[in-house]
Amino acid sequence: MRLSARVDYALRAAAELAAAGSGPTTVGELAKEQELPPKYLENILLQMRRAGLVRGQRGPEGGYVLARPAAQITLADVIRAVDGPLANVRGERPEHVGYRGAARSLQEVWIALRASERMILEEVTLEQIATGKLPARVMELAADPAAWD
């Protein structure tokens, strides 16, 4: 699985917003805390706002806050907001890509891969990331030394 810089930055900023609680956090604060380029982060937060994941608050006490509780926003929600569908093949959803001959089974592999990604990304919430209390299944998978190779 390859995550774009945009997804990485979005997830890191979202985790910071989850940790901040209900008070607004400025783009500058988020960028400084995670060592991200502020202008690029601003564009990412705008995408997340359009997707209904964050709200912007103007004024001297302004900044960004999560639009819903961190326990209700999954990693998959953030990824889809800034990068589109979780798994695609040449920009297409796996169920829309057809293969012929000996490669016919690749479609099932891509669909299984997407299902596997979903099992993790739709289970892990921003609250779990911010608190470090990940689901047992995630911890088990990450504890396997082969997972780190």
Angle, vertex CA 114, rays to CA 66 and CA 77, nearest 5: 5
Residue 62 has pLDDT above 90, yes or no: no
Residue 143 has pLDDT above 80, yes or no: yes
- Alpha-carbon dihedral of residues 96, 47, 8, 39, nearest 10 degrees? 140
For 67-108, write each residue's pLDDT tens digit.
999 999 999 999 999 998 887 777 777 788 888 899 989 989
- Rounded Cα distance between 91 and 6, Å, is 17
- Rounded Cα distance between 43 and 65, Å, is 15
Nearest in space to 123 (alpha carbons), one of 136, 106, 107: 136
SS3 category, 57: strand
Nearest in space to 75 (alpha carbons), one of 2, 4, 144, 8: 8
Residue 13 has pLDDT above 80, yes or no: yes
